[in-house]
Chains A and B, each alone.
Chain A
Amino acid sequence: MSENVVALVGAPNSGKTTLYNWLTKSQYKTVNYPGSTVDYAVGTLAGDSEIQIIDTPGTYSLFPKSQDEQVTHDVLFAGTLGVRRVILVCDGTQIERHLLIGYQLQQAGISFVVAVTMNDLLVKNKIPLNLNFIRKEFDFSFVLFDGVNGAGLDALITEVKKLPPRVPGQLDPWSAKKFEQTSDLIEKKINISRPAGKQNQLLARTQGIDRWLLHPVFGVAFFFIIMSVIFASIFWVSAPVMDAVDQFFAWTARAILSVNPQSLWVQFLSDGLVVSIGAVLVFVPQIFILFLGIGFLESSGYLSRASTIVDRPLLALGLSGRSFVPLLSGFACAVPAMMASRNLSSKKERWIVNFIIPLMTCSARIPVFALLIGLLFYRQSSWWAGLAMAAMYFLSLAVGMTASFLLSKIIRTKEKSLFLMELPLYRWPRWRVLVKQSILRTQGYIRRAGPMIFLFAVILWIGAHFPIEKEIQDPQIWKTASLDQSYLGQLGKNMEPLFEPLGTDWRVGIGLISAFAAREVFVSSLALVFNIPQDGKPDSEKGLLKTLSQATNEKGQALFKFSSVVGLLIFFMIALQCMSTFIVSIKENHSLKFALGQLVGLNLLAYIVSVSVVQFLQMFQI
């Protein structure tokens, strides 16, 4: 096994991932929240592919108390990755506490160097950290590293290369006395190197902000305002860009169709591919705004405050404030959100969180919600749609919380969950980094959803136009089937009894079934199916919203009535229609039974609740 494996170890939020990115020239997401890395990442040192670098989840000591801390412990001691050297990453502003791991590494006989980060804050606040003094006091090797400009990186690499490779030994448990004596010793040594009382100035600004953002009354109000603004801005901010994207695809579809309207290939390109792909891509600006909003919360330091504020209410529902971060991540995507649940100390809490994560309004639901809300408030101010979007987020949270409460009553355990939250200093996000990371995450969304949308566009278009036959007057021209005579139409009609209680017809049913491949496909399916009038000629002149708002059922009544749109919103809010989530759920919970129960349970619940709501509303002719 290679002796050139170096692990980055340190407390959460100490700057390990930033250092990892500098060492390997990667672009991993770094955030201002303790516990953002929940799995290890492996890369090679830029400029020296012989040396492997491993970024580990943050840990406060080498005695693990949660699944992510166990990962770090195993990276060092399980021996499978062959770690022979360690870089202990310490936040310079918290070095007294973060050096505790140094003594544990020393006891385990691990070869390590200390990288002192957050130097920019120390310099900015004129707080001396006299490294020459510190070097004399400790028999560790120290290097200053600046995560903003990379200063100190070369010196750190040189120090790492000098370290003798060593197989990690054993770490005996520490008594309370040993913890206290070691902490006293570190504090004494560090305090020699700097004037007393000066360090606290660093916290003053953050505490000044927290006096309001964590205030028992105003803090709660700020929490709701901040969350509402972020989720409502998904609609408000992105509206003009969405209009532009929508017009671009409508223009492209018309331009392609004008080349040869009779050609099946041209029709497929125009109404199959361009319309389907455009129907989903039009929502990309909203998804970008969502990632930007969540990124802002992560990098500013507010996420820890939000977790702190909601801890007490979540406790009553069987969760803790630490569950807030995986749940919030679930608003972007359930897959990383389930992985983020690893930093929860209680197994019961992890199971509950993983069960309810698919209920959070993920980015894949945005196109669906945006379309359905657009139908509810067609031709009305976008402010209403924005508020309705924010309401959907809070409603999905409320459904998740109810499920959590019920599950916490069913699953009984004596396990205690830990909260103890370190509140990081507030920092202004670096906008360039934030925008870049949001673009990368949006690209990831497109890459994930794109192939499925393309595949279903092809399948649905063929299904909606075939069988074909030659025109009687002109045998050179192939005539496509009308929608209700097509394969897709026949299939939909056979399944119509299933969709009727939802207040919809078979055309919407086709969309609902195809959404099990990926939720976004629902939108492209509707775009494709409703773009085909009964005479078989496509109509790409109208926007999708206009087409749907004018759609009627067989009785000539409006198809998308208030009750049926609300029913669809509820169905999509609850249903688990994502195969990636299902697979990750098996892996993260180590149980196929759990994942299957989740899949069947949530989809059944979605159907029953939405049918009940539609039937109730229809009693009042709504």
Chain B
Amino acid sequence: MDNQKNRDPQLRISLVIVDLVGPVEITERLREFGLRPGVPLFYFGRTGFGGAHLLQAGNAWLALRESEFQCLKM
């Protein structure tokens, strides 16, 4: 997910969540959003300033901060 690829508006990488690790308040919220082990998702890159990661999980279109994204092991 390097910077060059990140600037490609057509970027769409298919991933699967293996595990959720990190602070409970974050992992619990991720689970409430349907992000749990075994769930496939599409990765669409990051916003400007090295900002949020854009993901599609099922029908949910989500933006996750780096520290939240790091809780997803894929």
Same complex origin of A and B: yes
* A547, CB-defined interface residue at 8 Å: no
Question: How far is B48's CA from A345's CA once the two chains are assembled, in angstroms?
Answer: 24
User: How would you classify the secondary structure of chain B's contact residues: helix, strand, loop or mixed?
Assistant: mixed
Q: Find chain B residues with CB under 8 A from A345 CB.
A: 25
* A308, CB-defined interface residue at 8 Å: yes
Q: Find chain B residues with CB under 8 A from A304 CB.
A: 63
The contact string, 1 if C-beta is below 8 Å from chain B, for chain A 72-112, is 00000000000000000000011011001000000000000
Q: A315 with B65: in contact, given A60-B32, A65-B25, A214-B47 (CB under 8 Å)?
A: yes
Q: A211 with B10: in contact, given A60-B33, A418-B68 (CB under 8 Å)?
A: yes
User: How would you classify the secondary structure of chain A's contact residues: helix, strand, loop or mixed?
Assistant: helix
Cβ 8 A contact of A96, one of B34, B38, B67: B34
Question: How far is B7's CA from A311's CA once the two chains are assembled, in angstroms?
Answer: 18
* A478, CB-defined interface residue at 8 Å: no
Question: How far is B56's CA from A283's CA once the two chains are assembled, in angstroms?
Answer: 44
Cβ 8 A contact of B32, one of A97, A187, A211, A424: A97
Q: Find chain B residues with CB under 8 A from A94 CB.
A: 59-60
Cβ 8 A contact of B62, one of A65, A220, A423: A423
Chain A interface size, under 10 / 10 to 19 / 20 to 34 / 35 or more: 35 or more
Chain B interface size, under 10 / 10 to 19 / 20 to 34 / 35 or more: 35 or more
Separation in Å of the A554 CB from the closest CB of chain B? Answer: 52
Separation in Å of the A72 CB from the closest CB of chain B? Answer: 14
Question: How far is B36's CA from A29's CA once the two chains are assembled, in angstroms?
Answer: 34
- Pairwise interchain contact B59-A96, C-beta atoms closer than 8 A: yes
- Pairwise interchain contact B28-A216, C-beta atoms closer than 8 A: no
Q: Find chain A residues with CB under 8 A from B30 CB.
A: 420
Q: Find chain B residues with CB under 8 A from A428 CB.
A: none
Centre residue among B9, B26, B38 by max chain A CB count within 10 A: B9
Q: Find chain A residues with CB under 8 A from B48 CB.
A: 215-217, 219-220, 309, 312
Q: Nearest residue in A to B7 (C-beta to C-beta)?
A: A216
The contact string, 1 if C-beta is below 8 Å from chain B, for chain A 112-131, is 00000000000000000000
Q: A93 with B59: in contact, given A211-B9, A215-B9 (CB under 8 Å)?
A: yes
Q: Which of chain A's residues 248-305 have a Cβ closer than 8 Å to chain B? A: 304
Which of B's residues lie within 8 Å of A, judged by CB?
6-7, 9-10, 20, 23, 25-34, 36-38, 44-52, 54, 56, 58-65, 67-68
- Please name 13 pairs of A and B residues whose Cβ atoms are closer than 8 Å in the assembled complex, sorted by A: A60-B33, A61-B32, A94-B59, A97-B58, A100-B32, A176-B27, A176-B28, A309-B49, A311-B52, A420-B26, A420-B30, A421-B64, A423-B54
New A-B pairs, 12, CB < 8 Å, besides A96-B34, A206-B61, A216-B7: A65-B28, A179-B28, A183-B31, A199-B59, A220-B49, A345-B25, A418-B29, A420-B62, A420-B63, A420-B64, A420-B65, A423-B63
Which of A's residues lie within 8 Å of B, judged by CB?
60-61, 63, 65, 93-94, 96-97, 100, 176, 179-180, 183-184, 187, 199-200, 202-203, 206-207, 210-212, 214-217, 219-220, 304, 308-309, 311-313, 315, 320-321, 345, 416, 418-425
